[in-house]
Amino acid sequence: MSTPASNAFADLASRILDALPQTQCTRCGYPDCAGYAQALATGDAEINQCPPGGQAGVVRLSQITGRPEIPINPEFGEEGPRTLVHIDEDWCIGCTLCLDACPTDAIVGANKRMHTVIEPYCTGCELCLPVCPVDCIKIENASGSATGWSAWSREQAELARQRYASSTLRRARDKQENDDKQAALAQIKLSDLTAHSRITDPQILDRKRNIIETAMARARAKRAGD
C-alpha cells in the first residue's frame, strides 16, 4: 500500500528522471537513467554524475532536489557534444554484439550480415564500442559546439526514453520465450530420458533425471520470483 512518503519519493524520482537526457549510457555509475534517478531521490548519488546532461543538467537537478550546484565530476566523464556512432560497412563482420549492447535498438542487422545505425534512435551512449571485436564503430559529433542540454532537445530525450522502454520489454519477452523453449525441450528429454541419452545404466539415468528435475524446479522458482 502506498504512503505519503512513498508517493513523495516516487514523484521526486519521476521529476528527476524527466530532467535527464535519457542516453542510458551508464556513465553515472547506474544501469540506466531510471536507476540514477532513484539513487538521486534516495540521496545515494550526487547531482553531477551525468556528463551528457552537462552543467545545465546539474542546474536542473539542483532545482529539483534543492542541493547546491556543483561542477560535473570528471570521474564520470566530461561534458561534450552529443554524438552518434557510425558502422564502417567494409569492416563489419555481422557478429550482432553491438545489437545486444544498444539500449535503444538503434542498430539493425542480422548474424553474419552487415549492421547499420538508425541515427535518430542513437543516443551516443557508446556502449557498442567496447563489444565490437573488429573496431568498426566510429563516433561522430552530432551537435557541433553545443554541449550538454544545449545539444539535446526534449523531443530527442523523450524518443530515447520510449525506445529504451520498448527495447527493455522486447528483451524481457525474448528471454521469456527462450526460457520457455528450453524448459519445453528439457521436459521432452525428461519424459523419455532413455531415448535421449547414451547412458543405459538405470541408476545413472535416475541420478541424471533427479539432476534435471532439480534444475527445472530451480528455474521455475527463479522465474516465479522475478
User: 133-171 pLDDT, tens per residue?
Assistant: 999 999 999 999 999 999 999 999 999 999 999 999 999
Question: Coil, helix or strand for 56?
Answer: helix
What average pLDDT score do residues 95-107 get?
Answer: 96
Give a yes or no: residue 127 inside a domain: yes
Residue 46 domain flag: yes
Q: Measured between alpha carbons, how far is residue 173 from residues 84, 101, 178, 182 in Å?
A: 28, 17, 9, 14
Give the number of other CB atoms < 10 A from CB of residue 25: 20
Domain containing 46 equals: 4-76
8 with 64, same domain: the answer is: yes
User: Given pLDDT bands bounded at 50, 70 and 90, which one contains residue 226?
Assistant: low
Q: Which residues of 78-87 are buried (b: 16+ CB within 10 A; e: fewer)?
A: ebbbbbbbeb
pTM for this prediction = 0.79
Confidence of residue 220 (pLDDT cuts 50, 70, 90): low
Domain assignment of residue 167, yes or no: no
- β-partners of residue 108 are 116
Torsion of CA 45, 47, 49, 53, to 10 degrees: 140
Q: Are residues 179 and 141 in the same domain?
A: no
Number of domains in the chain: 3
Which candidate, 63, 75, 11, places its Cα nearest to that of 37? 11
Residue 65 CA to residue 51 CA, distance in Å, equals: 18
The CATH number linked to 27 is 1.10.15.40
Which of 76, 111, 131 is where one domain is finished? 76
H helices of 113-192, in order, are 154-191
Q: Give the residue among 6, 73, 77 at the shortest CA–CA distance from 42.
A: 6
Take residue 82 and report the three cell numbers written for it. Answer: 552529443
pLDDT at 5: 74
